Amino acid sequence: MFGVPCTDERGQQVLHPSRDEYLDVLGMAAADGYELCVDVCAVDGLTNRTRAVAPGIEPERFEVVVNLLDLRGRRRLRIRTQVPADDPQVPSAVGLYPGAEAPEREAADLFGISFSEHPDPSRILMPPDWEGHPLRKDYAIGAIPVQFKAVEGR
């Protein structure tokens, strides 16, 4: 479909475009009736290098996953694009799917994946001065001491 590798995952079509094909495939999907972007999310495969990808696709550390709906045709489409750790960026889909604006910011904020040409690349969940990306598998988990009042009689 759309000239890129396609697999079936639990009855749903999944396309596997390269980063160079990513925006073109989204454009073809929009033209084919997939008018709603339900979600954009990221996956960090640092600790799971065995996850399945389409034949001929080299798994990278990160993956951007886009879920689209064709409401009239009652169809779903998932797009999975591999993103290397040394250059974690893909083009923004906001020009095609305005609803991708907030989920792309979330993936950028929590995973450190840059969406080029995004209209507002500022952090959306973490404070602006926050260092790092908390959903990366190699993010150092720290502890913040919290005082609790003991419950009497327990």
> Would the pTM count as exceeding 0.75?
yes
Domains of the chain (ranges; CATH) run 6-116 (3.30.460.80)
Report the pLDDT value the prediction gives residue 116, as an integer from 0 to 100. Answer: 97
**pLDDT tier for residue 26 given thresholds of 50, 70 and 90:** very high
- The residue type found at 71 is L
Report the pLDDT value the prediction gives residue 117, as an integer from 0 to 100. Answer: 96
CB environment 19-30: b (16+ within 10 A), e (fewer) = bebbbebbebbb
**pLDDT tier for residue 122 given thresholds of 50, 70 and 90:** very high
Report the pLDDT value the prediction gives residue 149, as an integer from 0 to 100. Answer: 66
Report the pLDDT value the prediction gives residue 148, as an integer from 0 to 100. Answer: 64
Is residue 13 within 8 Å of 70, Cβ to Cβ? no
The 10s digit of each residue's pLDDT in 66-121 is: 999 999 999 999 999 999 999 999 999 999 999 999 999 999 999 999 999 999 99
DSSP three-state, residue 115: strand
Residue 142 has pLDDT above 90, yes or no: no
Per-residue 3-state assignment (H helix, E strand, C coil) for 52-105: CCCCCCCCCCEEEEEEEEECCCCEEEEEEEEECCCCCEEECCCCCCHHHHHHHH
The 10s digit of each residue's pLDDT in 37-67 is: 999 999 999 988 777 888 889 999 999 999 9
The 10s digit of each residue's pLDDT in 124-141 is: 999 999 999 999 999 987
Residue 144 has pLDDT above 90, yes or no: no
CA distance linking residue 103 with residue 86, whole number of Å: 22
